[in-house]
Chains A and B, each alone.
Chain A
C-alpha cells in the first residue's frame, strides 16, 4: 500500500513514496504495543488471587486517606480477611508507618517478585518509603530539566510495578491508598482489566466537599464502583456536612462519620460495612 508521494525539496526529480506503517509488512522488532500488552498481562496474573481492589480516594489532601486506609485494613484483617495495602502516594508515603512497618525494612526479592512487608494485624504492604532514604523526596535518575515530560509516565510505571511485581498472594482485599487528585486513580483504572471499587474520604468542610465531588465524578466516569463516603474528623471543629451532602448527591451510603481518635469498635463497624 503506497502512501502520499512528494519530492525532496531542492532535488527536483527524486520522488518519495511514503508507505504506511501497516504497509510495511516486516516485523516491528520493538513491538512496543506487544510490550505494553505483556505489562498488563503481568498485572492480571499477579492479581489473579486478589478478590477485590479498593481505591481510597479523596481529591483533597490532608483529609486522612492514609489514616483511614491503614485502620480500615487492620479492621478488615481483624475480621479474618487477608488484606494488602498498596501505598500509591509516592510523593508522600505514610501508610507504612501507620501500619507500624519499619520504613527502612529491606525488601526481599523472590523469583519474579518482591515480598510485601507485613504490618500490624498481618496486613501486607508495599510503599515507596521502603525504597528511599529517610526524609528524601522521590527523585528519578535522568535529566534534571523538563522532568515534567516524563515524570508522570515514570510514576505510572511504578504503580504498574507495585501491582505486578509484588507477591501479593491471595487477598480478600487490596486497598490502594491514592494521592490527592484524580490522575493516579485514572492510572489504576488503566492498569486493571476491570475498574476497581472505591471509597471516598472527606472532612466536613465545603472546600473538601468540592474537591471530593470532583474526584467522585472522575471515578464514576471511569466506571469505578463507588462503595460509599467516609467523613473523617467529624465533630465541632470543622464546619460543614460534606459527608452527608456527597452521600445524597451520589446516592451512596455514608459509611461512617469518624471522630478524632476513633476507637477499634468504630473501625470494626466500618469494615463490616464493606
Chain B
C-alpha cells in the first residue's frame, strides 16, 4: 500500500501508527514536499482482518515472537504458557530479571505487567526486556515501557 500526494505528485512517507480506541487502526503518512499529512483509519473489522494475517502495516518493528498471532488474538487460558529461562510469567516476587536480557524491573513496571493477561504476559515481558537490552537500559520502568510501545508500535500490548 502506497499513498500519493496528488498535488505534489510525490509518494507520501509512512509516519506513525496508532490504535486510538474501539479497535480502530490509524496509520499516518506525510508528503515529503508539501508536508501535508493524511491518516488512514481502518474500522475494527478491517483492523482485525489485517492482524489475523500476522502482518504489520508500516512494517515489522520486532522479530516475530513464537505463536505471536495466536497469543495476541486467542482468548486463551491464563496459565497456558510457562516461559523458558526461569523467567516465570513476569509477576513473580524475584528481582524481575527479564527473559530476554539483564535489566531489572521496577516495582511499578511489574505492577503494570501484572495487568497484562497471563496468556500473553510472557511474550510482552520478553519484548520489553529485549528492548531494554538493545538500548542498554538497566531498569525497566513504566516510562521505558511507554517508550518501547511507541517506538515498536506495540498497539494492544
Contacts and interface: CB of A to CB of B under 8 A. Distances in A.
Contacts of A146: 45
Nearest to A112: B66
Among B6, B66, B69, B76, the most chain A Cβ lie within 10 Å of the Cβ of B66
Given A16-B6, A142-B23, A132 B77 contact: yes
A142 B48 contact: yes
Interface stretch (B56-64, B104-112, B131-139, B140-148): B56-64
Interface in B78-105: 79-84
A48 interface: no
Given A108-B84, A143-B44, A149-B45, A161 B69 contact: yes
A29 B153 CA distance: 14
A247 interface: no
A19 B56 contact: no
Contacts of B63: 112
Contact of B73 (A26, A29, A140): A140
A236 interface: no
Given A106-B80, A106-B82, A107-B80, A30 B74 contact: no
Contact of A30 (B51, B52, B57, B75): B57
Contacts of B70: 131, 157-158, 161-162
Contacts of A153: 49, 52-53
Interface in A95-140: 104, 106-114, 128, 130-133, 136, 138-140
B77 A104 contact: yes
A139 B80 contact: no
Interface string A75-94: 00000000000000000000
B19 to A, nearest CB: 12
A134 B11 CA distance: 51
A157 B56 CA distance: 14
Interface residues of A, number: 54
B128 to A, nearest CB: 15
A109 B84 CA distance: 5
B83 A131 contact: no
A168 B76 CA distance: 22
Contacts of B82: 106-109
B109 to A, nearest CB: 20
24 contacts: A16-B6, A19-B9, A26-B2, A29-B14, A30-B1, A30-B58, A35-B56, A107-B82, A108-B82, A108-B84, A112-B63, A112-B64, A114-B66, A128-B74, A131-B77, A139-B74, A140-B52, A142-B51, A143-B23, A150-B48, A150-B51, A157-B52, A157-B53, A158-B69
Interface of A: 16-19, 21, 24-26, 28-32, 35-36, 38-39, 42, 104, 106-114, 128, 130-133, 136, 138-143, 145-147, 149-151, 153-154, 157-158, 160-162, 165
